[in-house]
């Protein structure tokens, strides 16, 4: 699957549909509000993978991987959270939402579809070596750390490198199609080039 749109799941959650299983990840999630920071897009973490979700001025409590380890990672500058893999199923979307809802500064957003352009996505992809190098270095450093949370997060850095090497290009080509057509590609439809 090259692209799956998580926004209908987000809308269903914000329109009152209960979040299946969210209570097991986050006991209280009614404090979150999107768009708490007007400059969230401009201050987004450069490591975020293009897509609807992204982390910007998040807190530094390192809670996101506890609920969404397959999607959230921390930077090594000040411990802010970012999205290294966009959700591809409703359950994965719930997990990313859980990470966003427990984040105290409301530093996550889900308006990336309105912000990313094909040119920006391609620019991010051209610069992927910088992200890959950062994640590989993080893994080397944190995998031998005395801190248990850093050792756990090193697994996320390894997963990010593996995703950049295999799978991310197909996702981004599907996302480029989505940005242009506002629908997922049909079977056999050609995907744009990165």
Intra-chain end-to-end CA distance of the chain, in Å: 17
User: pTM for this one?
Assistant: 0.90
Secondary structure of the chain: what % helix, strand, coil (to 5)? 45, 5, 50
**CA 144, CA 157: separation in Å to the nearest integer?**
13
pLDDT tens-digit map of 21-77: 555 544 444 444 454 455 689 999 999 999 999 999 898 999 999 999 999 999 999
């Amino acid at each position: 699957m090259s692209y799956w749109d998580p926004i209908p799941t987000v809308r269903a959650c914000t329109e009152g549909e209960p979040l299946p299983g969210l209570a097991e990840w986050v006991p209280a999630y009614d404090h979150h509000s999107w768009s708490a920071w007007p400059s969230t897009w401009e201050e987004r973490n450069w490591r975020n993978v293009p897509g609807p979700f992204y982390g910007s001025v998040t807190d530094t409590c390192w809670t996101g991987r506890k609920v969404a380890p397959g999607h959230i990672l921390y930077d090594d500058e000040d411990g802010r959270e970012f999205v290294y893999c966009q959700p591809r199923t409703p359950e994965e979307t719930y997990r990313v939402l859980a990470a966003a809802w427990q984040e105290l500064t409301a530093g996550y957003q889900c308006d990336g579809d309105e912000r990313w352009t094909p040119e920006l996505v391609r620019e991010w992809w051209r610069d992927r070596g910088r992200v890959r190098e950062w994640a590989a270095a993080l893994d080397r450093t944190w995998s031998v750390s005395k801190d248990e949370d850093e050792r756990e997060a090193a697994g996320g850095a390894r997963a990010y490198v593996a995703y950049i090497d295999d799978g991310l290009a197909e996702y981004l080509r599907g996302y480029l199609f989505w940005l242009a057509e506002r629908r997922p590609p049909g079977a056999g439809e050609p995907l744009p080039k990165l």
